[in-house]
Amino acid sequence: MTRTAIIIGAGIGGIASAARLARAGYDVTVVEKNEKPGGRASTIEQDGFFFDTGPSLFLMPPTFAQTYADLGERMEDHLDLVRIDPTYRVHFHDGSILDLGSNLNALHQQLETFEPGTFEALMRFLAEGYKRYTKSLDKFVGRNFYNLFDFFTPANLPLLFQLKPLVKHYTDTSRYFKDARLRAGLSFQNMYLGLSPFDAPATYTLLQYTEMVEGVWYPRGGMYAIITSLTRIAEGLGAKFHYNAPVKQIDVDVDRAVGVTLENREKLKADVMVANADLPYVYTDLLPDPDGKSATKMDRLKYTSSTLLFYWGVKGERSEKLLHHNIFLSDHQYQSSFAQIFEAHTLPAEPSFYIHAPVRTVPNFAPKDSDALMVLVPTGHLDAAHQQDWPALQERARQWVFKRLAEIGLDDVKERIVFEATYTPPDYRRIWNLAKGATFGLSHNVMQVGYLRPQNRHSQYKNLYFAGASTHPGTGLPIVLLSAKLVQERILKEQPAP
């Protein structure tokens, strides 16, 4: 008899889980709240403008390639990837810029203008990042932890010194670079994970290695090409997708999840379930919690930052002052800006921000005489204990971006905007059920990684698994793809065949 599986949520973790289980012989049904797959990795298409709404950097290509290979496919047959080099342009508060990329000669010349003799330090910095990258994938990120002793083993003790999880990323970066601009420009990447470089473990210097050595890539069809191709593969393997089908509750019986009840009262049953919805939301809203213990536990966990997002269709010139990826750092208030985000849960007085300008790589993402810009401004997550006037904070962020753009000679962007869409933290909670509107899910502090992170199988309901950013191993598209792989491994190991 064919075993059945229900996947709650069609984010990339849910899609990959569906495809993997379908290939393993399961009869798979995916139920998705929204009208199309992708979760946060979605799109906005309007008046000839095209925007990715979620991740915009394609990192760790081998992890994506392995996912396609495990599904019997070749990544190259589905994605037309372009390497983005320079990776991005970093704009500092004093008007200086740094183009980070793989052209070592150009990078050498730039670094000399910031801090003479620092190129050698960068090579050592990247070599250390390589060691942490390979060891993290092998020992932590790419494997399951079935019990505490899998995690805390004598063999793992040397990793405390090799990966430096107890050292802060900014502190570690400062060992290599003295110039405050370089320290900021080579540590802000923690924000890809919604973390502060002053709190994130030094382990995450691996991010700079992945960017500068493996490279940052971009699919010619946009990041959503990943979603459409994996969905197509999953459907080809027999998985069935149901959209506009929000789940009201997960139905349970003693120690097993037996199915789901949809908002329209339809009931579906399955032998195995994978929740790709945000893990805290599953515990607090979809599972029984009569005494409120799950809600209390989830509230005590640490969460990542949120974001204020602007999608602008801009009439007129596509400025060469913006590359595909652009970072604007308020580096003279660098540390205090992170305190405002992660402690006060608000928008910094002088926020740093990121601009994605994909028309430089895919010209047809905007009409010929126009540009398409996505602006991401990190801010604090929802917090009932702090006053948060989101319309006012959003407007302040918008005006700050215009100010910084004017400083580099783009002083008429505001007047040339012909289309705008926005997202704020309340939107993240409403549209994608993200607890506290935290864009990247649960944080990755030392007490929330590996076995200490919420597990990818429920402790009571032994056939309920989790794939996504808030479970092991963590956030980011390639890491969530790994979470789907780890879930498949557990299910095939733990769920008996009929």
- Provide the pLDDT for residue 155: 81
Running DSSP on this structure, what letter comes out for residue 199? T
Backbone angles phi, psi at 334, to 5 degrees: -60, -55
Helix 477-494 / helix 12-23 crossing angle, nearest 10 deg:
40
In terms of Cβ atoms closer than 10 Å to its own Cβ (0-12, 13-18, 19+), residue 206 is buried
- Provide the pLDDT for residue 270: 98
Instruction: Tally DSSP H helices, then E strands, for the chain.
Output: 17, 19
**Distance between CA 130 and CA 205 in Å, rounded?**
9
Sheet holding 325-328, edge to edge: 97-100, 88-91, 325-328, 353-356, 370-379, 306-315, 417-423
C-beta of residue 312 within 8 angstroms of C-beta of residue 372? yes
Running DSSP on this structure, what letter comes out for residue 216? -
**Distance between CA 202 and CA 174 in Å, rounded?**
11
C-alpha pair distances (Å), 381 with each of 68, 362, 428, 434: 34, 32, 10, 10
- Provide the pLDDT for residue 176: 96
Residues linked to residue 306 through DSSP beta bridges, in sequence order = 379
Q: Is 238 helix (H, G, I), strand (E, B) or coil?
A: coil
Which has the closest alpha carbon to 448: 279, 289, 292?
A: 279
C-beta of residue 226 within 8 angstroms of C-beta of residue 477? yes
**Distance between CA 437 and CA 384 in Å, rounded?**
12
C-beta of residue 492 within 8 angstroms of C-beta of residue 75? no
- Provide the pLDDT for residue 158: 79
Q: Give the pairing type, strands 464-466 and 272-275.
A: parallel
Give the tokens for residue 149: 């002793």
Which has the closest alpha carbon to 216: 358, 329, 91?
A: 358
**Distance between CA 415 and CA 175 in Å, rounded?**
44
What is the residue whose two structure tokens read 């079935």?
146
Residue pLDDT tens, the chain, 498 long = 899 999 999 999 999 999 999 999 999 999 999 999 999 999 999 999 999 999 999 999 999 999 999 999 999 999 999 999 999 999 999 999 999 998 999 999 999 999 999 999 999 999 999 999 999 988 889 999 998 888 888 888 777 778 888 899 999 999 999 999 999 999 999 988 899 999 999 998 888 999 999 999 999 999 999 999 999 999 999 999 999 999 999 999 999 999 999 999 999 999 999 999 999 999 999 999 988 899 899 999 999 999 999 999 999 989 999 999 999 998 778 999 999 999 999 999 999 999 999 999 999 999 999 999 999 999 999 999 988 999 999 999 999 999 999 999 999 999 999 999 999 999 999 999 999 999 999 999 888 999 899 999 999 999 999 999 999 999 999 999 999 999 999 999 999 776
**Distance between CA 356 and CA 354 in Å, rounded?**
7
**Distance between CA 71 and CA 16 in Å, rounded?**
9
C-beta of residue 450 within 8 angstroms of C-beta of residue 456? no
Burial code (b: 16+ CB inside 10 Å, e: under 16) for 387-404 equals ebebeebbebbbebbbeb
Instruction: Please report which residue ranges of 24-118 form alpha helices under DSSP H.
Output: 61-70, 104-114
- Provide the pLDDT for residue 290: 85
**Distance between CA 8 and CA 433 in Å, rounded?**
12
Backbone angles phi, psi at 3, to 5 degrees: -80, 150
C-beta of residue 277 within 8 angstroms of C-beta of residue 434? no
The residues, ordered by sequence, that sit 6+ positions from 177 with a Cβ below 8 Å of its Cβ are 115, 118, 121, 125, 183, 186
Q: What is the pTM of this model?
A: 0.96
Measured from the Cβ of residue 265, the count of other Cβ atoms closer than 10 Å reads: 7
Instruction: Please report which residue ranges of 137-219 form alpha helices under DSSP H.
Output: 148-151, 159-162, 169-174, 180-185, 206-209
The residues, ordered by sequence, that sit 6+ positions from 387 with a Cβ below 8 Å of its Cβ are none
Between CA 152 and CA 50, with CA 467 as vertex, the angle to 5 degrees is 130
- Provide the pLDDT for residue 291: 86
83, amino acid identity: R
